[in-house]
Structures are given as C-alpha cells and as structure tokens.
Amino acid sequence: MPDRLDLDRALRSVGDDLDRASRPVTPAAARGRVPVAREPVRLRPGFRAGLAGTLAGLVLAAGVVVVRTADAGDHRVDVGPPATAVGEEQTVTKSDAVPLPETGLALDDGQRTVLLSFDGRALARGQALTPSVWRASDQVIVRDEGRTAVVQAGGDRAAPGSECDRGQEVVGLRVAVCGGTPGNRQDIVAYPHDGGTPRTLDGSMLEPGHWEWAFPSPDGGRYVLAQWRRSCGGAQAVLLPADGRALPGMANMLVFEGTALGWAPDGRAVIQGVAESCADRTDRGVVLYDVAAQATTQARPPGAGTARVWVRQG
Amino acid sequence: MLSRGVGVTMAVDEVGAATRAERFAALCRAVEPRLRRALVAAYGPELGSEAVADALAWAWENFERVEGMANPAGYLWRVGQTSVRRSVRPRRAAWLAAGPEPGGDHAFEPALRAALADLPARQRTAVMLVHGYGYTLAEAAATLGCRPRTLRNHLDRGLGKLRARLGVSDDA
C-alpha cells in the first residue's frame, strides 16, 4: 500500500509537470498586455450588512462572546524583547477593547500621541508625552490595559559589553552601540547568539558624528538599522548588513536622511524621512523600506510629528 | 543619488524614485512564481497562465494601489480568479484528469490526477502549493489571501480525500 511519502513524491511530480506546462509571465509581457481582469467582485453593501447582522444575532442568541485577537498579520516575526519602560507614563484611550498588536507606529505632534498599527489604523489616542521623553528614547513601550493603554519611553537594554549601551536583540543576534564615550559611540557591535565572534560594523565612511541606537532586523538579524547623529545635529538612518556582506543592490550600506525607527513585523525597515542640515529641516513622513525589493512605501505623510516604533509589553 | 565608495547615500524620497517599471519588476519577481503555481493548480496550465498574465497586467495599470497593499499576492490571486470566471465557468479540472503532458516524468500512480481533478479548486490548490511545491502554510495562505488556519482546513480535507481515494496509508 502506498504511504504518505509516496503521495508527496507523486504530488511533487505533478507540480513539476504543471511548472513545465505553464508559461512564466515577465514584467515586460505584463506591461504590454491589455488587462481583461478587473478588481475582485465586491459584494453589495446591503448584502454585507445583512449578513453581518444575521451573524451578530446568531452569536448574541447563543450567548457567545467572540474576542477577536488582533495580531500583526500572518507574517508576524519576532521583534525582540521589549525594553524596560522608564520615566513618565501617559494613558491613551483605545479605539476599542480589541487587544493591541505586538508592535506599531507611535506619532506625537506635541499636542497628542497616536498609536497606529503598521497598516495605518489608529488604535489609541491621548495627550502628548513631553518632547524629552521622545527624544531620549529609541522605542516606545505600551502596556495594554483593555480600554486604555499606558505609553512610556523604552529604557536602555542591558548591554553585553562594558563600553556598550542601547542593546537590542532578536532571535539570532544582539546589537549594541559601543566604543568611544557615552554619548559619542563610534562602533556598532553585533553579537551572534550562537557564540560566534562579535563583529564590529563599519561606519567609518560616515560624516563625523556618533551612533545613537541600532536595531537588528527581525529575520534573525541579517541587517542592522542604526541611527547616526552627525556632529552638526542632522540624523541619518543607516542600513548595514550584519554579516559584513553587501546589501541587495551591491551597496555595503544605505544612508537615509532621517531617523531610524526600527523594523515592521513584515521585515521592512521603518524610517522617518527628515532632511536635516545644520540650518534647516524638511519632514518627508514615515516610510517603510523593503531591503530585498529595494523599494520604499510611504507609511505616513509629512507632518506626523515625531515618530517611534512602539512595542507592546506583556 | 550620491555614491561614496561602495556605500550609497540617498534621501528617502530619492529611494522612492526607483522607476515605476523597476518597482513593478521587483513585485513580479516576488509574486509571479507562486501566483502562477496557485492559479495553474486551480485552473490548469492554459487558463492559469492567462489568469496570471491578466492579474499582472491589472497590477501594472493599478500599480500605485497594489504597491501599497500588505499582501499583493493574495489580492492578485483574487484578480486572477475573477479573470478566469469572467471567461469560463470552471467545472471539474478536465485538464488534469485528461492525463500528463507528453514528455514529463510520471512515476506516480495514474489515479492521482483523476483524484486531484475531483477536488474542489481551493483544496487542490492548497494541496499542490504545500505538498506539490513545498511552500509553508504561511506562504501558501498569503498567496491565497487567507489565514493559515483556513488554508490548513482546505489542505486537510483535500489530503484526506486523496488518501482515501488512493488507499494511502498514514505510515510515513
């Protein structure tokens, strides 16, 4: 009698057959084709509302409470342990009682704080934190308390080296800014979790300045997104390969004019674009940078205020 | 864009200035193979390939929208389905039951194609993506724009029917 492995082999053989019989579509062919496809058919509004009402009635009649778990999508990956929350607390009011996802984007325009999901939904709002809280923190810690949430600055993580601080880790890699003096760190050191040799990431080609913080990418730390502060004050977000190899596109680092905020759960780097010379400042909003595709997506338009990635604690 | 040594310095808005065609090509590289495999498993090599071409042509025309989607592959799978359903009403997968294409390697039992052809398209697509092509549950679910749990249900039902019909034992 054939077993499961026989069936798997046979299915792979069918897959090979179908691959051979199908025709790959090149980008050029797609661009030159007159599409006959249309958007997926949408249900009539009344149908959707009626269906929702019927289902809601059934649920209520059964006395069942359904709690929908909000997550960051099916591609959620480990974004590392949150920092210790420190300093001033600010309570914000959630849009609903649905649990917060594990991470998202926090905006503060000096008047109010808004917590967003990475797909742009406003999840909670409240009064602004004091600007010094935002400036001092590379990340915001959020504690979900049902209808409200408590926002605090993320404190420093325990650093693996005596001359290091701002440690961050994901599964596979821990990074910290090291060397020099506190407030003037010159190196980023990547510490592999498998006990491999720590690697100092090369930032020597940057303009004079210092490192402020660094985040390993959530794919096990293939890349590091770090914050470089130029001597005259302008911030630069620097994307480096953690293993010393080249980035896709053959550059060994990318330098964005702006602030390094961290990583979205889908593995895109989160950067607030701010062109900041010693004399002026131009806000370009928050963008997500896909390292593999070498493409950016605008996540928030200019004018959002100061942005940070928030991480849910607990 | 300024280059210094082997590093690259650019403003955020300059990164975004990669041409539309380049960004579309990157999207195609990312989604075309699994989208094609999914649509071919559902509708056969002929209709499936046409559906992929239609979906990607639609993506090019609406690229700004598609580019901003969290899961473009899942959306384009539905665009491809719509394309097929506008042209024909798929019934039993006769293309599959009709037998292998000449010249292929068919060292599997002949009843498998017929059994696959009798599966509903969603179950057949789930079985082929996961067991025929080796995608993970998460990857297959993203391709079909559904949750992994839903994909798992289609997969379990499809595999169960195949095993029952082909007399496959549970022993590995």
Three-class DSSP category at A113: strand
Crossing angle of helices B72-87 and B45-61, rounded to 10°: 120
The half-sphere exposure of A34 on its side-chain side, counting CA atoms within 13 A, is 0
| pTM strictly above 0.80 | no
Q: Do B55 and A24 touch (CB under 8 A)?
A: no
Residue A35 to chain B, least CA–CA distance (Å) = 5
Share of chain B above pLDDT 90, in %: 28
Element (H, E) at A174: strand A173-178
B-facing residues of A in 15-54 (CB < 8 A) are 15-27, 29-31, 33-41
The residue among A4, A8, A13, A25 with the most chain B CBs within 10 A of its CB, best to mutate, is A25
- For A82-105, the pLDDT digits (tens) are 456 666 788 899 988 888 998 999
Q: In Å, what is the CA distance from B57 to each residue of B18, B27, B83, B111?
A: 20, 12, 11, 37
Report yes or no: A115 and A106 within 8 Å, Cβ to Cβ. yes
Walk along chain A (314 residues) and give the pLDDT tens digit of each residue. 667 767 888 888 888 888 888 888 888 888 777 655 444 444 444 544 555 555 555 544 443 332 222 222 322 223 344 456 666 788 899 988 888 998 999 998 888 889 999 888 899 999 887 766 666 678 888 888 888 998 888 766 545 556 777 778 777 778 888 887 877 888 888 888 777 788 888 777 788 888 988 999 988 888 999 999 888 778 889 998 888 777 776 667 788 888 999 999 889 999 998 766 656 667 778 989 888 888 888 888 887 788 899 988 86
Distance CA A255, CA A260 (A): 10
- Find tokens 């067991």 and name the residue: B131
Q: Which residues of A fall within a CB distance of 8 Å from B147? A: 74
Report yes or no: A187 and A200 within 8 Å, Cβ to Cβ. yes
With helix as H, strand as E and coil as C, how does A176-240 read?
EEECCECCEECEEEEEECCCCCCEEECCCCCCCEEEEEEEECCCCCCEEEEEEEECCCCEEEEEE
Three-class DSSP category at B76: helix
Residue A40 to chain B, least CA–CA distance (Å) = 5
**By CA distance, what is A38's nearest residue in B?**
B79
Distance CA A227, CA A233 (A): 12
Residue A110 to chain B, least CA–CA distance (Å) = 24
Handedness of CA B88, B91, B94, B95 (dihedral sign): positive
Average pLDDT of B47-76? Answer: 87
**Candidates B8, B49, B100; nearest CB to A23:** B49
- For B20-32, the pLDDT digits (tens) are 788 888 889 889 9
Q: Which residues of A fall within a CB distance of 8 Å from B26? A: 293-295
